Structure 1
Amino acid sequence: MKKFVGPVIIGLVVILSIVIWWRYYFVFAEGVKAGNLNYFERKGFLFKTWEGRLVQDGFQSPNPGALQSNEFRFSASSDSVAVLLERSGGQFVELRYKEYLNPLPWRGASKYVVTEIVEIRDSGRNGLPIQ
């Protein structure tokens, strides 16, 4: 009986590790979203994270015949990205993001995490890409 307890425990730990990685660290999708930055703030009780909302052009609704604003709620991955976004409220921004299956408290409240700013421009003028 003792011969089987060790391998079973090791197997359960390996399976649990794979499930945790899959649910919280596996990057499901990567992409770029663009729109007007509605708000961007640092919030949280225990873990302070950067959270924002991007309002995209057009309307999207899960129910036929209903109208709903097309919003993209996201978290920022680093302070360097956060500093630029903090100064870009109301402007048109283009953001590169990663989508995870589930959020983690220290990563942010959203499953979408912005990793890079592609472009910031004033709503009325052409902008230059961010380097």
Structure 2
Amino acid sequence: MTNSTDTQQRKGGFKKFLFITILVILAIGASITYYKYYFVFGEGVKSGYLNYAVKKGNVFKTYEGKLIQEGFGQMKAGGVASNQFEFSIEDDTVFKQLESNSGKYFDLHYKEYHGALPWRGNTVYIVDKVISMK
């Protein structure tokens, strides 16, 4: 009779170990996912002329934009290129304001993430508000 009791205790101990291991793996996976896609890595303001603001995508329709900043960018084979800031937009009202004022000078507040989500946009930079427009 002592054999069956020992076997039951071993089975119960293994189930507890397996349960705790699965919980730890899920917690680590959730932490990595949060850090990669939802943790705000940086915030700031970019200024420049709005080149475009568009709604595009095959499955997820997202708002995308490009800001042309003053100054000189990285040297390319043919000469000097401008600084460009490509970003995504989550808010409809911010998109509509940008879309209707293409070519104007904007100061845009953005948040930077470590990774892009398909329903949030194509870039890791998400513009969340317009600070000023000239």
What TM-score results when the alignment is normalised by the length of structure 1? 0.87
Residue 67 in 1 paired to residue 80 in 2? Answer: yes
Larger Rg: 2
Q: Give the paired residue count.
A: 119
Offset at residue 69 of structure 1 (A): 1.9
The equivalent residue for 1:80 is 93
Q: Alignment partner for residue 96 of structure 1, among 102, 109, 113?
A: 109
Percent of paired sites with the same residue:
43
The equivalent residue for 2:57 is 44
Quick check: which one's helix share is greater?
A: 2
Offset at residue 62 of structure 1 (A): 7.6
Q: Give the gaps of 5 or more residues in structure 2.
A: 1-13
The letter for the 1-side match of 2:102 is G
Which deviations, in whole Å up to 9, do the C-alpha atoms of 1:72-127 show, x marking residues without a partner?
00011200101100111111011000000111001000100000001111xxxxxx
Q: Alignment partner for residue 6 of structure 1, among 19, 35, 56?
A: 19
Q: Give the gaps of 5 or more residues in structure 1.
A: 122-131
The equivalent residue for 1:111 is 124
Residue 34 in 1 paired to residue 27 in 2? Answer: no
Offset at residue 6 of structure 1 (A): 0.2
Q: Alignment partner for residue 69 of structure 2, among 44, 47, 56?
A: 56
